[in-house]
Structure 1
Amino acid sequence: MIKVLIVEDDPMVAYLNEKYIKTLPEFEIIGKAANGEEALKVLRDKKCDLVILDVYMPKMDGLEVIGEIRKEFIEVDVIFITAAREHEVIDKALKLGAIDYLVKPFEFERLKESLKKYLVRHEMMRNKGQIDQKDIDLLTKVDSKIRHSLPKGLQERTLKKVMDVLENNRDSYLSADEVAELAGISRVTVRRYLEYQESVGVLKCETKYGTVGRPSYVYKIIR
């Protein structure tokens, strides 16, 4: 069981974070802190594996907290969930060893992805005496739906536009015509990208039958 401390001064956000995390049975909330000073008291007293940390808080902000964690050699991992978007804040958080950084408001699926990746890392570090390069690559790779080695003629910028439309409509199947209209790209171009993403396992394609004419194909991101 992965023990988690939530550090967040907004009670509603803290409640939502707790609610999200509790949907994953491998994680256990051991406490919540409304500011950095409270968080450090908990960390000095209790065994904790992961801290969900805000930046903007009274008394002691999140960057000060993670700095103190490192200074005191408290063995705990940190994921930031915060409204702070300043590049210098993000840069410092990552340099101080944050394993992920989520900007509010975020989708639950994004947090779920981060926690599942952390679970893989946690289990791997706990159960293996030695870790080979393949396992390290699994831990350090950047998950992205668009970072493939693209075939000739396809461009990442256009692929991103197509995938942004599908991300924003992830609960629905969309046709090439619908994606083309929302992305502002020609239908012929969109279809090439959709077919490519299906071929590499990013999209699921289904056949949609109308009352007349040929059936159409609709696409949805695989989760």
Structure 2
Amino acid sequence: MIRVLVVDDDFMVARIHRGFVERTPGFEVVGVAHNAAEALVAVEELAPDLVLLDVYLPDVLGLDLLQQMREVKPDVDVIVISAAREAETVRRALRGGIVHYLIKPFSYDDLRQRLVHYQEAYGQLAVAEAEADQADVDRVFGGASGPTASARLPKGFSAETLRLVEEALRGAGTDLSAAETGEVVGIARVSARRYLEHLVTLGRAEVRLKYGEVGRPERRYAWR
């Protein structure tokens, strides 16, 4: 589970962003801070993996806080979420080593995509062996090594739908049937089963057979 700290001076906005994060499988909000002082204490005491950081805070500019947080916890990752659109602000944030920069206002899907990228790219790099290969690095920086992920998908598959199925399975905490997965993702049972079987082929999921009193056993799927 990825531990997230939300930092925003607007109480209502912070509540909305907290809700967005908590809707995303694999993430939990461990704290909310409304100014830089609270954020520094939270980083030290709660040790989040990821901070959603607003630029405009009442006591310290968020980009200055970014450096202070790194002094407290050098390995903390940051996604800047701000209404600040100035090119220099964006450049400074990038030089500070942020993961993403998301301009307000944004939808849940906008944030979810950034969170999923962080989860997949940085998570895989964290569990890599002593050396990362080019594919590991490309996932972090958004590049591509060889054919794109979409090009490697079976005909008729959508990379976005596959990602949603992965999220549903990974965040379920138990095994799911194709029908249950389809209901979570919003696709037909037959389509969900095709994506689930593809994940089994890739070695990302496993099949568990559930036997009833009569009839054929139900195929259920679990994240590996």
TM-score range, shorter chain: 0.5 to 0.7
> What's the offset of the Cα at 1:31?
0.3
Q: Deviations over 1:58-99 (max 9, x none)?
A: 011211110212344532000011101111111111100111
Which moved further from structure 2: 118-127 or 84-93? 118-127
> What's the offset of the Cα at 1:110?
1.3
CA distance in structure 1 between the partners assigned to 2:34 and 2:72 by the alignment: 21
CA distance in structure 1 between the partners assigned to 2:27 and 2:101 by the alignment: 19
Residue 89 (structure 2) aligns with: 89
What is the 5 A alignment of 1:64-103? 64-103=64-103
Which moved further from structure 2: 48-57 or 121-130? 121-130
What is the RMSD computed on CA atoms of the aligned residues?
2.6
Residue 35 (structure 2) aligns with: 35
Helix, strand or coil at the partner of 1:81: strand
Cα–Cα, structure 1 residues 201 and 48, in superposed 2: closer, same or farther, change >3 Å? closer
Residue 123 (structure 2) aligns with: 123
Q: Which runs of 5+ in 1 are unaligned?
A: 144-198, 204-223
Residue 133 (structure 1) aligns with: 134
- Counterpart contact for 1:70–1:96, Cα < 8 Å: no
> What's the offset of the Cα at 1:119?
0.4
Q: Which runs of 5+ in 2 are unaligned?
A: 145-155, 161-224
CA distance in structure 2 between the partners assigned to 1:28 and 1:15 by the alignment: 13
The structure whose Rg is larger is 1
The letter of the residue matching 2:107 is: E
TM-score where L is the length of structure 1: 0.62
CA distance in structure 1 between the partners assigned to 2:159 and 2:71 by the alignment: 42
TM-score where L is the length of structure 2: 0.61
The letter of the residue matching 2:34 is: A
Q: Deviations over 1:131-177 (max 9, x none)?
A: 2112211221269xxxxxxxxxxxxxxxxxxxxxxxxxxxxxxxxxx
> What's the offset of the Cα at 1:200?
11
Helix, strand or coil at the partner of 2:78: strand
The letter of the residue matching 1:37 is: A
| Percent of pairs with identical residues | 37
Helix, strand or coil at the partner of 1:102: strand
The letter of the residue matching 1:27 is: F
CA distance in structure 2 between the partners assigned to 1:20 and 1:140 by the alignment: 24
